Structure 1
Amino acid sequence: MIKEETKAMANNMAAFSFFSFPPEIRHLIYEWMLCDFTAPRKVDPATFPDDMVRAPLKLGLENLSPAILRTSRQVHAEATAAMVRRCRFVHISAILDYWSIRSIVPRNLGVLCTERDLIQRFRGCVMALHVGSTASPYSREHRIDCLILGRDLDAYCRSLGSWVDVPPDFGRRTSLTLELGNPLNDPGPHVEFVHKALLRPFLKWVRGIERVEVRSRDQLALPKALVRDVETTLARPRWEDFDPAQLLCQFRNLYLRSGFWSVVEQAKDIARDPQLWPRLKELGGPGFLGKFGDFLFEIFIGQTVSIAERGGDKECVMSLLGSDLFTFKALRVLQDIGTIPNIIRASWEPNSAQLAELYFRKANVCHFRSIWQEDPETSFDCMRQALVAITEATKYQPRFELIPKLQELKKSIRDDALKAVGDRLNFRGKYSLKNTR
């Protein structure tokens, strides 16, 4: 009885064919076995020592199982067709500032390649996507290139849309260029269908691009209606359409939700464009400018507070102090007429308590820098700046609870200075005794 059941089962298994599965299931099997990015390996930042922007990319070529290709020629041909025709490869490139480019790299998707020269020589890209912007003059631009599967384009457009869908950064203009190629060099009627499938994720997820351009490669004719639909749908409305009160609320929500770094970048661009202030005053009134001035003050105080909270992490503090964002001087922004337009100074002035608080934060930062500076001369210069900031803070009628903090910080700085002088004298004494021997 058992032998008969085993024999019947063997006959059924012999009769079963892989092609008994529906095509959709076979295509999914090909995708998961030949391009499995479910658990991409983590890339060590040391992999790209000269380009830290590329470090977050996940090169997911680890879990491949190509054994299915050796099953038969029919399986090999169908798998090749499925991977090329259905997945299609997309080239993503971007030239942005450091903080923006780290937001749009495909962190959670598998990346096939990050070498620009290799990607440009590869002929299987059916779409090339380029993101650029007029970055802040205080930010250095970086370039990123990567190759992803077309099946992951929807997920990437979702993350790209979340990056673009932020409060309007008036000083920066983002551009998106989509270059469509001819899939498999086949001029058949299915080309338009493929292009619609590639552009559909952008129409679904991406909004707020100032300049959108859709073009073809190798003089390929594109449907004019489709191109016009994409370019108009993805374009951002003019900034006059935004309510200033709603804008400020969005800024605050972003500041509280995701930290202040991206908000500082956008606030810098707004504050440095004097042509925007008359229109904002007309829409929101002088009260809006006053609230925005208070919000700028809150952001700059938040920078130094964050540094103070990370006092135990030397590397983190030093990276923050040396970053381009922190070199944006809060005191100058609040007081220098050449940085902030006259119109905001007529609507908002920092009060004495705010200036005292800001100078106290500056003294704290200078103290941190003096502790971790390896060069003694630079360390003493930071101490001097901290003492000057404390002196300035005492001029502006600080809050009662701030006075003990100022005195304590002043004593700590002087103790550190005396200790540093003693260490230098002892070091010189040992060095001179060693030479005399």
Structure 2
Amino acid sequence: MPRHFQFLDLPREIREIIYEALLCNWELNHTRERAYLSTRFDNPTAILRLNHQIYSEAFDYLVKHNQFISVDCDGISIRSDPLGRQILAVTEDPKKIGQFNGYVARIKWSTNKDPLQKIRRKQYMVLGRQLPDLLKCTDYHVMTQWPAITMTIAINPIRTSRTDLTTPSLRPFQISLLHIIPTLLHAFPGLTIEGTAVPRRLAGHIIRETARPRWMTPAAALADLLWFKHNNDRLANEAYYLSTNTAIECGLKTIDYMRASPGWPELILAGGRSFVNAVAELAFELRVARAQRALDAMERSQSRRNLVEEFSEHVNADLAKCLPPVPSDGDEAFWEPNQEQVAVVLCMHARKHRLLLDVESRDAAVGLVERALQMVPDNEAVRRESIAVAAWSRRVDRYINEVWVSSSGAMEEMWQWWEQEVEL
């Protein structure tokens, strides 16, 4: 039987070449993409978590042959965000952080939280080239979670005992750190740049560019929203339900943020009714998709009534926002769902009643699917739900005819009987 390859079987010189490639690349790998849309994070420090010997070797090599950024956080985590992206710090140990002298930049985040609330302060040391990932994480948090966040970046001349690191040799790298900020951080007025190594004119330019509106054109705004829809469709096909819900949640938060942003009136003026209707259409599709996930969860949780009722509340919350028209900036321009979309929502309401075993709403559920069939008689999903509601209605009639239900325990007895029917 062939033996598995062992990394530690390699000569120390070869291992150091690998450490060099993983941990000592000075290139700032980034693209001019919307930061919060990126799902790919570079985690070169993952090799430090393999075992104690590799950690000892790689950490020693990393400290002696690299450049770093010191990160100070108040109430903000850089470890991950809801999209599942992670930044693996070199270390969080205060004693080991003290070993790092001569880092190229220092970043401090803070939030305007309740002063009486205890805020946990965290310190990290990360690789210099991970600044793009830090900016992506910050951009997402600013937009969806902590709008009252401030960030201070301090860049000063390097003071270190390492002879290979000097201020002239690191100055271009430090300046390049500033130039990538506006490409990955948007609509952020809370940026401050400090340090004697930074030209004042350049610092002012970076701050102004970072504070510019996130979406400058309707096409860019729609492109961002379509990314969430396409990502949701892809994950749904791959059956990644948790990630799918996250993509939907982020898409809806983005729409809410966009409509509340100062640049929304300019976007409406530039895009007109077609732009407003396109945003409303995407919001409808994302809410329907999230409600559909909750309905699927209700069906999978039939044996646990508390979960079924909890998921039904999520269904109600999303469907309640689907059918009413969404007004735009004018009195006459608005979006409303077409007949097929209305029929789908009606069927989802009927399915919710059916999965809840809501006997009192049985007639309402039957009426909903009948209305949906009249609107779109050829829609396969509507026809399937109509058949399912009809079968459920017949079971309800059989239950009422065969089982005595007391007024105090009707629902509980109904659930017990239904569980037995499902098992049979």
Amino acid at match of 1:331: A
Give 1:157's aligned residue.
132
5+ unaligned residues in a row in structure 1: which ranges? Answer: 1-17, 37-56, 70-78, 136-141, 371-379, 429-437
In 2, the alpha carbon distance for the partners of 1:133 and 1:192 equals: 35
**Cα RMSD over matched residues?**
5.7
1:58/1:110 contact within 8 Å kept: no
1:362/1:386 contact within 8 Å kept: no
User: C-alpha deviations, 1:144-177, integer Å up to 9, x for none?
Assistant: 9562432xx4245157449959xx99x9687643
Corresponding position: 1:251 with 2:251? no
Inter-CA distance 427–270: structure 2 relative to 1 (3 Å threshold): closer
Inter-CA distance 343–124: structure 2 relative to 1 (3 Å threshold): farther
1:360/1:390 contact within 8 Å kept: no
Question: Counterparts in 2 of 1:56-95, with a 5 A limit?
Answer: 60-65=48-53, 83=63, 86-88=66-68, 90-91=70-71, 93=73
1:92/1:145 contact within 8 Å kept: yes
In 2, the alpha carbon distance for the partners of 1:270 and 1:367 equals: 36
Question: Counterparts in 2 of 1:305-324, with a 5 A limit?
Answer: 305-308=292-295, 314=301
SS across alignment from 2:320: helix
Cα displacement (A) at 1:309: 5.5
1:95/1:133 contact within 8 Å kept: yes
1:281/1:289 contact within 8 Å kept: yes
Q: TM-score, normalised by structure 2?
A: 0.56
SS across alignment from 1:329: helix
SS across alignment from 1:90: strand
User: C-alpha deviations, 1:225-245, integer Å up to 9, x for none?
Assistant: 453454355x16435731x24
Give 1:354's aligned residue.
341
In 1, the alpha carbon distance for the partners of 2:132 and 2:258 equals: 27
Tell which structure's C-alpha radius of gyration is larger.
Answer: 1
User: C-alpha deviations, 1:306-364, integer Å up to 9, x for none?
Assistant: 4455677559x969966998775342354277xx5674873222244422321322343
Give 1:301's aligned residue.
288
Give 2:213's aligned residue.
238
SS across alignment from 1:178: strand
User: C-alpha deviations, 1:65-122, integer Å up to 9, x for none?
Assistant: 38999xxxxxxxxx97971673435326486799982348535x45523x8xx58985
State the number of aligned residues. Answer: 341
Q: 346-355 or 192-201, which moves further after superposition?
A: 192-201
In 2, the alpha carbon distance for the partners of 1:325 and 1:193 equals: 56
Give 1:399's aligned residue.
376
Q: 417-426 or 256-265, which moves further after superposition?
A: 417-426
Inter-CA distance 133–182: structure 2 relative to 1 (3 Å threshold): same
Question: Counterparts in 2 of 1:31-50, with a 5 A limit?
Answer: none
Cα displacement (A) at 1:296: 1.9
Q: 1:288 aligns with which of 247, 257, 275?
A: 275
Inter-CA distance 307–231: structure 2 relative to 1 (3 Å threshold): same
Identity of aligned residues (%): 11
Cα displacement (A) at 1:266: 0.9
Cα displacement (A) at 1:398: 3.3
Cα displacement (A) at 1:274: 8.8
Cα displacement (A) at 1:298: 1.6
Inter-CA distance 145–362: structure 2 relative to 1 (3 Å threshold): farther
Cα displacement (A) at 1:256: 0.7
